[in-house]
A = this chain, B = another copy of it.
Amino acid sequence: MRILITGAAGMVGRKLIARLAKDGALGGRKIAALDLHDIVPPQAPVLEGVGITPHTGDLAAPGATANLVALRPDVIFHLAGVVSGEAEANFDLGYRVNLDGTRALFDAIRLAGFAPRVVFTSSIAVFGAPFPDVIPDEFHPTPLTSYGTQKLIGEALLADYTRRGFFDGIGIRLPTICVRPGKPNKAASGFFSGIIREPLSGHEAILPVPRSVVHTHASPRSAVNFLIHAAQIDGAPVGPRRNLTMPGVAVSVGEQIEALERVAGAKAVKLIREEPDETIWGIVKGWPTRFEARRSKELGFAAETSFDEIIRVHIEDELGGNIRS
């Protein structure tokens, strides 16, 4: 089978590629070709017997998506997108990449007429405060960012194009991915990962919000599991509501820190410095806390069941099993 991945150079894209390379198959079918697309050259693994082709460019450019789709992939993972902060700072860029790029891809598939499985990464950013205590699957999306708006429009297109039979789409709303590997960044959500990742490597981390803040997390490994599962499931039982809120672990920041102490000891916790930041707290206050995620669980999507497990996944996948604090 042939697989196309957009956004292949991103964190989730790279982990998905590594997983597909390891498995060698998807849904019981041997992977014969991997097409990897991104705006920057994606890293392509060397795999015996698999034709791997990197593609670089702007999805919204004329003809770009038609070229990718001409290869008739059986499964398309559409991960490409400008992130939340960037889409907010640069209105034109966000709409160009997240809306025009997605629509161009969907339209190229429609015009090619071969109806592949399309897995689209949406986000819990489609939801905006105020929220009930637990957000049900039937709660209305009212995004408070341009990023969330663009993801919502992608979801609406995905559902309509699927209903029309142009492709067989599954949209997955990812919770916050934690523990995010790499260096600390300026994303407002960065501290959720920072307060775990940095102490585990012996570095100090800043906590800018109160410990009472509750949020839903899943590991990068779970994000890849969601993608693989979405590529494989039978579309019929999903019905016309193609966009699914993924499961995750809902915990307070205080509970995150208690889990860190259980897994890595008091020494790690001492590396967390509380430094309240009203701006970050102001942003985080508008974010969803807990999700019901009933439908996705019924359809077999699974995440970690405790924050301890999320920390252990990070230690296994990123630190070679070793805590350095």
Pairwise interchain contact B91-A144, C-beta atoms closer than 8 A: no
Pairwise interchain contact B142-A149, C-beta atoms closer than 8 A: no
Pairwise interchain contact A142-B91, C-beta atoms closer than 8 A: no
Within 8 A of B (CB), among A105-162: 128, 137-144, 146, 149, 152-153, 156-157, 159-160
A210 within 8 A of B: no
Pairwise interchain contact B152-A156, C-beta atoms closer than 8 A: yes
A163 within 8 A of B: yes
A164 within 8 A of B: yes
How close is A285's CB to chain B, nearest CB, in angstroms?
Answer: 14
Give the docked Cα–Cα distance between A140 and B240 (Å).
Answer: 13
Among B128, B149, B163, the residue within 8 A (CB) of A157 is: B149
A270 within 8 A of B: no
A241 within 8 A of B: yes
Among B139, B146, B164, the residue within 8 A (CB) of A138 is: B139
Q: 1/0 per position for A229-259, CB-CB distance to B under 8 A?
A: 0000000000011000000000000000000
Pairwise interchain contact B128-A240, C-beta atoms closer than 8 A: yes
Give the docked Cα–Cα distance between A240 and B241 (Å).
Answer: 25
Given contacts A138-B139, A164-B91, contact A240 B159 (CB under 8 A): no
The interface residues of chain B lying within 8 Å CB-to-CB of A156 are: 143, 149, 152-153, 156
Q: Return 20 A-B CB contacts under 8 Å, by A number.
A: A91-B164, A137-B140, A138-B139, A141-B141, A142-B159, A142-B240, A142-B241, A143-B156, A143-B159, A143-B160, A144-B163, A144-B240, A149-B156, A149-B157, A149-B159, A149-B160, A152-B156, A153-B156, A153-B157, A156-B156
Q: List residues of A whose CB falls within 8 A of some B CB.
A: 91, 128, 137-144, 146, 149, 152-153, 156-157, 159-160, 163-164, 240-241
